[in-house]
Structure formats: C-alpha cells, structure tokens
Structure 1
Amino acid sequence: MIKISNYSIKGAKLSFSYCHRLPERSFFYKGKQFPLCARCTGINLAYFLIPVFAFGFIKISLWWSIIMILPTYIDGTIQAYTKYESNNILRFTTGIISGIGTVSLLTIIGIAIGKLILTFIH
C-alpha cells in the first residue's frame, strides 16, 4: 500500500521522509493536502526540467546555480530560528528557484564527471 500523507495506492509503500508535510505549510486541492509541503512541491516540480538542462537547452553557470539554491535555505533558516513566518507562495517560489539551481548544478557536475571518464577511457 503506497501511503503519501492522505493518499494511498494499493500494493506499494512510499513516504516522503525528507519533508515535514505540515498542513499549514502545504497546499490543498479539493480539501486534500498535497503529499509535500509548498517548498518541496516547488523543488520537485523543478526536477522535471532535468532533460532541458541535460540536453543543453538551458545552461546556467556554476555560481548562479549555487546562488539559486540559497534563497530556500535562507528563508527556511530564518523561519526556523526567528518568529518570522514565511507564506506558501514564497516557499513554493524559493523551492522552484532552488530546484532549478539544483538541477543545473547536478547537470554541471554530471557533465564534468562524464568528461573525466572519457579522458580516462581515451
């Protein structure tokens, strides 16, 4: 049985342990809570861009990729250690930006590793 928050699919088991899934930090659709919080929803949606980066349609520099990841950590850290309370639109937006930065960074690293492997083969 897959159980994703309030969602389940017979015959499999799946959970998102890296996400807190707090209701007040999650989106709802037709009264049902999304299986991830707003920030993780944004991050995971950005992962669909992997082919766009992997095939070189979009290229972002290493430093910009790292900078794009920072707003999520800044927002989350400030929220965790102060009385500041972010909102779901900001969480989702920083999540998308972070997800794009992560995809770009992983693509840069993957291409670099691929080039290293090719130099050792030849």
Structure 2
Amino acid sequence: MKFIIKYLPIIFGCHCRADRSFYFKHRKFPICARCTGELLGIILSIFLYKIYSLEILVNIFFILPMLIDGFFQLLTKYESNNIKRVIIGILFGYGFFNLFLNSIFFTISLGKYYARLYK
C-alpha cells in the first residue's frame, strides 16, 4: 500500500495540493481531487469497456471539460471546487483510457489482418 501511495502522484503528475485534495478520517488522499477522478474514470473504463464502449468523438468530448477547466483556472481567477474537479476527472479518465484501449485493440486487429495477408 505504501508503494501505491508513494508512486500515484508520480504516475499522475499530481501537484498534491492540500486545498485541492480529499480527506478521509483526517488523512489527505495521496493525489488531488482531479487525479482521484481520473483514477476512478480509468478503473470504470477497464470494467465497462467491453460492455459499453464509446465512439471516438464521444471520448474526445469527455476529455474536453478537463482541458477547458484547467485552462480557465490557469488564465483567469476562476477556481473550481473539488466536486467539479472529481467529476471532470472521472470523465477525462474514462474518455482517455477508452481512447487508449480503442487504439490498442485497433492495432491488434490491424496486426491480425496484415498477418493473414502475408501468410
């Protein structure tokens, strides 16, 4: 468990700010609210991919809110709250990992197709 807590911020590139993190029993999560949402979205994507796979454009649409929210916070004085961050993170994680899985399975099917051609 300490391994996961140590490396989660590195994997997600998380800033780990205390004011942008969730707490459980007075202990701060190892990653911020947005990264927690991304992790939840990735986990959902893994379990739901075969049941409910989305089109590429829908996945891109799921990624956009995080990009928009992040740029608004960077360029203006706007500050979203942790609930918005986790919801946007879930959408991003789900959409991003779905795109990742789509690209992997497309590459595998393309490899199988060309393997049959050159047998």
Superposition TM-score, scaled by structure 1 size: 0.84
Does 2:106 correspond to 1:112?
yes
CA displacement, residues 8-63 of structure 1 (integer Å, 9 cap, x when unaligned): xxxxx63523000100100011111100100000000111121321xx21121000
- C-alpha change, 1:43 and 1:31, in structure 2 (3 Å) is same
Structure 1, 67-76 or 13-22: larger mean CA deviation: 13-22
* 1:116 maps to amino acid: L
In the alignment, what sits opposite 1:16? 9
Task: Answer 1 or 2: which has greater strand percent.
Answer: 1
C-alpha RMSD over aligned residues? 1.6
Deviating above 6 A after TM superposition, structure 1's stretches of 4 or more consecutive aligned residues are: none
Q: How many residues align?
A: 112
Partner Cα separation in structure 1 for residue 110 and residue 18 of structure 2: 45
Distance 1:58 1:79, change over 3 A: same
1:16 is paired with a residue of what secondary structure? helix
- Which of 11, 35, 42 is residue 40 of structure 1 equivalent to? 35
Q: What are the ranges of 5 or more consecutive residues in structure 1 without an aligned counterpart?
A: 5-12
Three-state SS of the structure 1 residue aligned to 2:29 is: strand
Please, which of 34, 42, 51 is the counterpart of residue 47 of structure 2? 51
Identify the residue that residue 75 of structure 1 maps to in structure 2: 69
Deviation at 1:3, TM superposition (A): 8.0
The alpha-carbon deviation at position 98 of structure 1 amounts to: 0.7
Q: Equivalent residue of 1:101, what SS?
A: helix
Higher relative contact order (CA 8 A, sep 6+): 2
Q: Which structure has greater helix proportion?
A: 2
